[in-house]
Homo-oligomer: A and B are copies of this chain.
Amino acid sequence: MRYSIDHKSPVPLHAQAETLLRKLIAEEDYQNGKNLPNEVELAKKLAISRTTLRQAINKLVFEGLLVRKKRAGTKVAQAAVSSKSNNWLSFSQEMKLRGIPIKNFELQVSQVFPSEEVARFFEIKTDRQVLKLERVRGKPNEPFVYFVSYFHPRVGLTGEEDFKKPLYELLENEHSVIATLSKEEISAKAADLFIADKLKIAVGSPVLFRKRYVFDHGERPIEYNLGYYKADSFIYTVESTR
């Protein structure tokens, strides 16, 4: 076992177990569906009680990170990502929460003339260039989303920024733009040739398509974003009341 638990530490054992599990989860084997060590054994190895270990596991189950089945064992949840309607997160934040190491592929930045729709949303003319950001994200050799973003000129992005950082962090820290409101539209689509190529799936395969309009606290348009998610790599969760 690469990791261990410090019984003398003031950090509660279950908390230590939790972080240890998060590290385990990040490992490739487990990401690929391998069973985690079973409770009884793992507890013995870590020299903590099964109950204590269970406390940690249950938390991760509740978070949706792990899935368990009697007899079958404990595995990293496949349907990887979910998104709560309230406090919304950027993609990389969501993934980090789940212990999934995310890579950027084919990151491209360019200046383009906006389409009618984008120009209308941004309330600018179509002859004024906007920054376009494209990227494929996922695990190495397993892309699961293709993103396209357009940013309002007001944001002041030059294209030289480090887009590997979480996007909303970057906007906040380096450009003092705080995104506070998002309107999204979610639907299912068949992958066309372009998308199929990006996501390495067959043409016609189902993708979850998400269109996102992002505003700052003054309700001014900031970003227009399109996301194509490989089916089952993304589950959108919503809680609503009347």
- Which residues does A use to contact B, with CB under 8 Å? 59, 62, 79, 81-88, 179-190, 204-209, 229, 231-232, 234-242
By a CB distance below 8 angstroms, the chain B residues around A234 are 187-188
**Measured between C-beta atoms, what is the minimum distance from A235 to chain B in Å?**
5
Partner of A232, one of B181, B187, B205, B232: B187
Q: Please tell me if the beta carbons of B205 and A241 are within 8 angstroms of each other in the complex.
A: no
Q: Which 3 A-B pairs have the closest CB atoms?
A: A206-B206, A188-B208, A188-B231
Partner of A180, one of B179, B236, B242: B242
The majority secondary structure among interface residues of chain A is strand
**Measured between C-beta atoms, what is the minimum distance from A165 to chain B in Å?**
18
Cα A180 to Cα B84 with chains together (Å)? 13
By a CB distance below 8 angstroms, the chain B residues around A188 are 188-189, 206-209, 229, 231-232, 234
Cα A187 to Cα B83 with chains together (Å)? 11
A and B contact pairs by CB, cutoff 8 A, 6 listed: A82-B185, A185-B236, A186-B238, A187-B232, A206-B231, A236-B236
Residue of B at shortest CB range from A59?
B62
By a CB distance below 8 angstroms, the chain B residues around A81 are 86
Q: Please tell me if the beta carbons of A187 and B235 are within 8 angstroms of each other in the complex.
A: yes
Q: Please tell me if the beta carbons of B241 and A238 are within 8 angstroms of each other in the complex.
A: no
Q: Please tell me if the beta carbons of B86 and A231 are within 8 angstroms of each other in the complex.
A: no
By a CB distance below 8 angstroms, the chain B residues around A62 are 59, 62
By a CB distance below 8 angstroms, the chain B residues around A190 are 205-206, 231
